[in-house]
Amino acid sequence: MITLALSKGRIFDDSLPLLAAAGIEVLDDPEKSRKLILATNRSDLRVVLVRATDVPTYVQHGGADLGVAGLDVLLEHGAEHSAGGAGGNAGLYRPLDLRIARCRMSVATREDFDYAAAVRQGSRIRVATKYTQAARQHFAAKGVHVDLIKLYGSMELAPLTGLADAIVDLVSTGSTLKANRLVEVERIMDISSRLVVNAAALKVKREPLRALIDAFERAVEAQR
């Protein structure tokens, strides 16, 4: 049996066309069913639904053989689990950029905050984000002094309430920022979802996993 970890919502929805192109059909609709294990048209393949941030954990520890996770999630996971010297994404093989759930990680502030001036003057900037590892790296590389405030959601609220001067968040169309009168002042990196595979599973179940990875690769190329 091969177990594929997906998260509900954007990643599940954007993975469906790639799965279809690989000849795989998921037999339950996660929005209608409460099941966490979904059957597919292939008796040797099942889908497990986990939180987006839990996908690397499932795949790394063998709860799933492979999964789909955003680069944002993989970067945070890798940095948070790297204590003790071992690479935080050790055992996680990352063969493929699936080019789905695309967006960018950016710095945003209130319209009336002069980010460029704050950076130029070497001020300490308070930054609220879910992505503390990526944010820390970004500002360190720029030589900007920041106080990072970890949040788990609704980052847009932070500059509006005075919790922070800036946020680091994912942006796609920019409409959420606009609705909250925030402006994107710096693009940190482009984000898309990646296929991640358990390295040990790739040895034990080499043929079926290789076939799946190859099918996904062809599907990604076909959709470019």
Residue numbers of the site for ligand ATP (CB under 6 A)? 7, 9-11, 51-53, 70, 72-73, 101-103, 170, 172, 191, 193
Rounded to 10°, the helix 206-222/10-21 angle is 100
Burial class (CB in 10 A: 0-12, 13-18, 19+), 152: exposed
User: Least CB distance from residue 201 to ligand ATP, whole Å?
Assistant: 23
Q: Judge whether 52 and 73 are in contact, CB under 8 Å.
A: yes
Token output for 37: 């294990």
User: Least CB distance from residue 193 to ligand ATP, whole Å?
Assistant: 6
C-alpha span between 165 and 193 (Å, rounded): 29
User: Least CB distance from residue 169 to ligand ATP, whole Å?
Assistant: 8
User: Least CB distance from residue 192 to ligand ATP, whole Å?
Assistant: 7
- In the DSSP assignment, the letter for residue 8 is T
CA-closest candidate to residue 72, choices 135, 9, 144: 135
C-beta neighbour count of 206 within 10 angstroms: 10
Nearer to ligand ATP, 51 or 150 (CB): 51
Nearer to ligand ATP, 100 or 148 (CB): 100
Token output for 51: 């939180």
What residue is closest to ligand ATP based on CB? 70
Nearer to ligand ATP, 22 or 134 (CB): 134
Nearer to ligand ATP, 118 or 133 (CB): 133
Token output for 144: 């900007």
Token output for 182: 């925030």
User: Least CB distance from residue 203 to ligand ATP, whole Å?
Assistant: 28
User: Least CB distance from residue 51 to ligand ATP, whole Å?
Assistant: 5
Nearer to ligand ATP, 7 or 198 (CB): 7
Nearer to ligand ATP, 70 or 88 (CB): 70
